[in-house]
């Protein structure tokens, strides 16, 4: 059965397209464009799910939301491909990063986005939030100094989950060449054929 991805431009759903390309799963994309003024999703996406957010995936008669949950479902459906490593430490790191990407890394990035929209009113808060994000980036730099991928020696769905917050950090969170391990990792992710194929399918993506 073909998987249907409700895909919003410049959103977390790009990671789902990437995973499906890596898995070689047949899928269909239904595209939605953000309002250029508000950057919100259109009402047509809210008609698919009341929250009006992306990704929403229809697979095997189920309608799923939340990027991490969708990824875990698709990995399990594919027999564990790109799932947790076999070793205990790698498995722990895999689960950690599957949740860390959204639970810990995204909040300061979202705060920076809101601060940027507030103009002068948001300026006093920016240094504090930037320090919070810098703590994450400093830690991740040391993590990638000891191994090539987030979970261990092999590429996994945890790397796909981590792509969005680190791409956003590169775009608006101060991530630059002063953290070479993260930049190396990002370059390798962007060079993967499945990542490039997902970009062609998903359309313009501001963080790539």
Question: What does the pLDDT read at residue 142?
Answer: 98
**Residue 59: pLDDT over 80:** yes
Taking only the tens place, the pLDDT of each residue in 137-186 is: 999 999 999 999 999 999 999 999 999 999 999 999 999 999 999 999 99
Domain chopping of the chain, boundaries: 3-82+194-202, 88-192
The CATH number of 3-82+194-202, from 3.40.30.10, 3.30.110.30, 3.40.50.1820, 3.40.50.2300, is 3.40.30.10
| Residue that the structure tokens 């799923």 belong to | 64
Question: What does the pLDDT read at residue 2?
Answer: 87
Q: Which CATH class is domain 88-192?
A: mainly alpha
Distance CA 175, CA 123 (A): 19
Q: Rg of the chain's alpha carbons, rounded to an integer?
A: 17
- Burial zone of 97 (CB within 10 Å; 0-12 exposed, 13-18 middle, 19+ buried): buried
**Residue 40: pLDDT over 90:** no
Going from the C-alpha of 194 to that of each of 87, 146, 152, 162, 199, the distances in angstroms are 26, 25, 20, 16, 9
Closest to 29 in 3D by CA, of 7, 52, 55: 7
Percent of the chain with pLDDT over 90: 88
Peptide bond into 3 cis (omega under 30): no
Percent of the chain with pLDDT over 70: 100
Number of other CB atoms surrounding residue 206 within 10 Å: 11
H or E element that contains 32:
strand 27-32
């Amino acid at each position: 059965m073909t998987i249907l991805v409700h895909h919003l431009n410049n959103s977390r759903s790009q990671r789902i397209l990437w995973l499906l390309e890596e898995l070689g799963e047949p899928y269909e994309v239904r595209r939605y464009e953000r309002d250029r003024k508000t950057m919100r999703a259109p009402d047509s996406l809210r008609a698919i799910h009341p929250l009006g957010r992306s990704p929403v995936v229809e697979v095997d008669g189920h309608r799923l939301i939340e990027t991490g949950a969708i990824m875990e479902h698709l990995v399990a459906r594919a027999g564990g491909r790109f799932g947790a490593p076999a070793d205990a430490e790698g498995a722990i790191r895999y689960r950690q990063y599957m949740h860390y990407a959204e639970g810990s890394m995204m909040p300061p990035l979202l705060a920076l986005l809101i601060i940027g929209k507030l103009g002068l009113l948001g300026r006093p808060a920016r240094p504090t939030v930037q320090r919070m994000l810098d703590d994450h980036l400093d830690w991740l730099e040391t993590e990638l100094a000891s191994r090539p991928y987030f979970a261990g020696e092999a590429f996994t769905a945890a790397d796909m989950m981590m792509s969005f917050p680190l791409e956003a950090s590169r775009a608006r969170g101060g991530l630059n060449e002063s953290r070479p391990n993260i930049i190396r990792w990002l370059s390798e992710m962007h060079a993967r054929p499945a990542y490039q194929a997902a970009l062609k399918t998903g359309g313009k993506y501001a963080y790539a």
